[in-house]
A and B are shown apart, each in its own frame.
Chain A
Amino acid sequence: MPESFPDLEPVLQRHGRQADGLIEVLNHGQELYGYLGEPLLRHIARELRLPFSRVQGTASFYHLFRFTPPLRHSCLVCTGTACHVKGAGALLAVLAGEPLAERGIELGSVRCVGTCSGAPLVVVDGAVWNLQTSTALLAGLRRLEP
């Protein structure tokens, strides 16, 4: 995590450094730097003139904010209703037994990305992989660069 965050300046300005822009600023911060490390949160608190605890407390409320650096790849299994009905549980169970972290893949879940016609689906590095079976999914993940 760097010590200064010049790229955050435009979004801080867009919200006039007002407290109500906090979630927008956090979203952008995570987009830019991958995660919300303490130096970044402290910087945001200073810039918006908010107590650090308020910034940290707000960020921790929302599921999508993360406070540790991401691994090289991410695999999110959709656990929305359609994907559940179509077998997301089985995909998760298989993946849980794989040493994914060793291969730089972070396993997570998401509650519906709104393209349920592809159920069960996973989102790998932002791309949707539709109609997954555990065999196809494992093969696909194996093809990711370590």
Chain B
Amino acid sequence: MSLCLRVCTAASCRSRGGEDLRQALAAVAGSSTVVKGVGCLGPCSEGPLLELETASGVGHPERQLFGNLPASDPAALAALARSLRACAENPKAPAPWQPPAGQALDLNHPFFRLQRRLVLKHCGRIDPESITEALAAGIYQQLQRVLEANDPAAVIELVRRSGLRGRGGAGYPTGLKWATVAKMPGHEKVVVCNADEGDPGAFMDRTVLEGDPHTLLEGMAIAAHAVGASRGFIYVRAEYPLAIARLRQAIHQAEQQGWLGTAIAGSRFNFEIALRVGAGAYVCGEETALIQSIEGKRGMPRPRPPYPAEQGVFGLPTLINNVETFANVPALLRLGVEAYGGGTKVFSLTGDVLRTGVIEVPMGTNLRTIVETMGGGAPQGRTIKAVQTGGPSGGCVPAQQLDTPVTYESLQALGTIMGSGGMVVMDDTTNMVDIARFFMAFSREESCGKCVPCRAGTVQLDNLLCRILERRANPADLEQLESLCVMVMDTSLCGLGQSAPKPVLSTLRHFRGDYLAMLSPEATP
């Protein structure tokens, strides 16, 4: 019987010993057994994870997933390797293998069954360090097709018709953005991938970067061809060392094999990508600040217009999209608008929920389905109080409203945003004033200080929230909190300040009781 062992060696499983596990299992590799490191397999809370694919030569290969495997205990690892070797040497039809330690995970569980993997199609399947595997999986085929057809306008039209919207947070229509950059005069244009993923609690982009970097490069190259750019940048946060290493390697491999560089795939299209590593400033995820940072300057946002499409990196027309936005493009081109349908959204599910990890679901899936059916709900004995989406620019959806479908519009109606896909579940022990204060402290620290409403406003708001938390605030303070929120929102220069009050307003709207319970009417300011 032939076996394929896929060990997750992405950052989360790696921190639980995934790489040690892979090395120990490498000893099992042989003529009929392949062992490889792959990107995220999904349920990070059960890591380190191993997927076993057995093929007996008849019928489909069987897939099994195992979690909580041993990683540091040499005896347990040796026992695991022995057991797998015995399984490989067994000529009979595959009987489900049972690991001597760890447990089998049910692949029919809604966590897996309800996913639709477009962006993450190859993540967890292929070895992200091998361009040979990427090519065998069909990556770069859409780029090849696009180059052969050589009809940029048709590609832009397809993206527009698909309704794809930016996955970086604001949800701007991608086709429209591409069309704007394509229309700009001049021969020199730039494509930038925003891989800054600054929202705390969000790791969808990391999953793509670590698990399938070539799909991102393919998406960027298709975009560059569509808008007429020959230079590209990927701006990735320094906190992701593994993602940086894999990107570097993937770019190098793609250059070697002629999928980046000059005369790509024998066409007249030239496109090179340079990697830029951030240095820990959240505001650099904002597009105008990101451009400054790519140019080697302080990451200070500037007013728009002019938009990056008109004046971006080095003053050139620039297309900026998020990692997941680019990674959608090959899937969209492969499927066509019809089959692509409403597309998907990748979420990172964390916090007070039984199963945490990365999922990709059809756009419009209910929040309750994600958090309760797929994630298993709150830990034993607790109940869900809220789900936070959109990070420091977002808000909290209260438990009563979990039947909301995740779409840009429905989340906005609830006072939060889709955001980039971080989803943090909070249980009934959470004080929502504390959460509001947490995000305000974050925004205060990350404010670049350029405009006064954001620089001074976030400090004031933080102070007020602290006062409430310390039970030193009176009802007038609460009023001041609300009016200051509106002021900061309306007058700040960039998205950071404009949305910094959102977590406060959202918790005030849905959890006012938490605030009122902490006021003391006699307190004097």
Q: How far is the CA of A110 from the CA of B442 in the complex (A)?
A: 11
Closest residue of chain B to A21, judged by CB? B296
A23 touches B276 (CB 8 A): yes
Residue of A79, A85, A118 with most partner-chain B CB within 10 A: A85
A-B contact count (CB 8 A): 127
A61 touches B299 (CB 8 A): yes
> Which B residues touch A65, using CB under 8 A?
279
B47 touches A62 (CB 8 A): no
Is A128 an interface residue when CB atoms closer than 8 A count as contact?
yes
| Cross-interface CB contact of A116 among B280, B293, B350, cutoff 8 Å | B350
A26 touches B45 (CB 8 A): no
A114 touches B203 (CB 8 A): yes
Closest residue of chain A to B391, judged by CB? A81
**Sampled A-B contacts (17; CB under 8 Å):** A24-B296, A62-B299, A63-B281, A64-B238, A79-B200, A81-B350, A82-B356, A85-B424, A86-B351, A111-B282, A113-B11, A114-B11, A116-B348, A116-B424, A117-B44, A121-B15, A130-B16
Is B32 an interface residue when CB atoms closer than 8 A count as contact?
no
Is B297 an interface residue when CB atoms closer than 8 A count as contact?
yes
Interface flags, B245-279, vs A, CB<8A=1, else 0:
00000000000000000000000000000001111
Is A22 an interface residue when CB atoms closer than 8 A count as contact?
yes
> Which A residues touch B203, using CB under 8 A?
112, 114-116
Beyond A19-B296, A116-B356, is A82–B16 a contact (Cβ under 8 Å)? no
> Which A residues touch B206, using CB under 8 A?
114
Closest residue of chain B to A85, judged by CB? B351
Closest residue of chain A to B203, judged by CB? A114
| Cross-interface CB contact of B200 among A24, A86, A112, cutoff 8 Å | A112
Closest residue of chain A to B352, judged by CB? A85
Q: How far is the CA of A27 from the CA of B293 in the complex (A)?
A: 13
B202 touches A112 (CB 8 A): yes
Interface residues of B (CB under 8 A from A): 11-12, 15-16, 44-45, 47, 197-203, 206, 238-241, 276-282, 293-300, 314, 348, 350-352, 356-357, 388, 391, 422, 424, 426, 430, 435, 438-439, 442, 448
- What 7 A-B pairs come out closest when comparing CB atoms? A80-B200, A62-B279, A22-B296, A64-B280, A117-B44, A81-B201, A128-B15
Interface flags, A75-93, vs B, CB<8A=1, else 0:
0000111101110000000
Residue of A19, A84, A116, A130 with most partner-chain B CB within 10 A: A116
> Which A residues touch B430, using CB under 8 A?
85
Residue of B239, B295, B314, B435 with most partner-chain A CB within 10 A: B239
Residue of B203, B206, B391 with most partner-chain A CB within 10 A: B203
| Cross-interface CB contact of A118 among B16, B201, B282, B300, cutoff 8 Å | B16
Closest residue of chain B to A54, judged by CB? B297
A61 touches B281 (CB 8 A): yes
Is A20 an interface residue when CB atoms closer than 8 A count as contact?
yes
A82 touches B281 (CB 8 A): no
> Which A residues touch B448, using CB under 8 A?
61
Q: How far is the CA of A20 from the CA of B296 in the complex (A)?
A: 4
Q: How far is the CA of A118 from the CA of B300 in the complex (A)?
A: 33
Is A57 an interface residue when CB atoms closer than 8 A count as contact?
yes
Closest residue of chain A to B237, judged by CB? A114
Nearest chain A CB to B273's CB is how many angstroms away? 14
Beyond A23-B276, A58-B298, is A82–B44 a contact (Cβ under 8 Å)? no
Number of residues from A at the complex interface, CB < 8 A: 38
Is A105 an interface residue when CB atoms closer than 8 A count as contact?
no
Closest residue of chain A to B430, judged by CB? A85
Nearest chain A CB to B83's CB is how many angstroms away? 26
Nearest chain A CB to B376's CB is how many angstroms away? 13
Beyond A64-B279, A111-B442, A118-B12, is A27–B238 a contact (Cβ under 8 Å)? yes
Q: How far is the CA of A101 from the CA of B16 in the complex (A)?
A: 28
> Which A residues touch B435, using CB under 8 A?
85
> Which A residues touch B12, using CB under 8 A?
114-115, 117-118
> Which B residues touch A40, using CB under 8 A?
none
Is A119 an interface residue when CB atoms closer than 8 A count as contact?
yes
Q: How far is the CA of A110 from the CA of B445 in the complex (A)?
A: 12
B200 touches A62 (CB 8 A): no
Q: How far is the CA of A115 from the CA of B207 in the complex (A)?
A: 10
A24 touches B276 (CB 8 A): yes
Q: How far is the CA of A27 from the CA of B239 in the complex (A)?
A: 12
Residue of A81, A84, A112 with most partner-chain B CB within 10 A: A81
Task: Give the residues from 3 to 24 in chain A that come closer than 8 angstroms, CB to CB, to chain B.
Answer: 18-24
Closest residue of chain A to B275, judged by CB? A24
A117 touches B197 (CB 8 A): no
Closest residue of chain A to B235, judged by CB? A23
Q: How far is the CA of A26 from the CA of B438 in the complex (A)?
A: 30
Nearest chain A CB to B494's CB is how many angstroms away? 15
| Cross-interface CB contact of B279 among A27, A57, A84, A114, cutoff 8 Å | A27
Nearest chain A CB to B50's CB is how many angstroms away? 16
> Which A residues touch B200, using CB under 8 A?
79-82, 84, 111-112
Closest residue of chain B to A88, judged by CB? B438
**Known A80-B200, A86-B351, A110-B239; further 9 A-B contacts with Cβ < 8 A:** A24-B276, A57-B298, A65-B279, A81-B351, A111-B198, A112-B239, A115-B11, A116-B424, A128-B15
Beyond A26-B279, A58-B298, A85-B426, is A80–B15 a contact (Cβ under 8 Å)? no
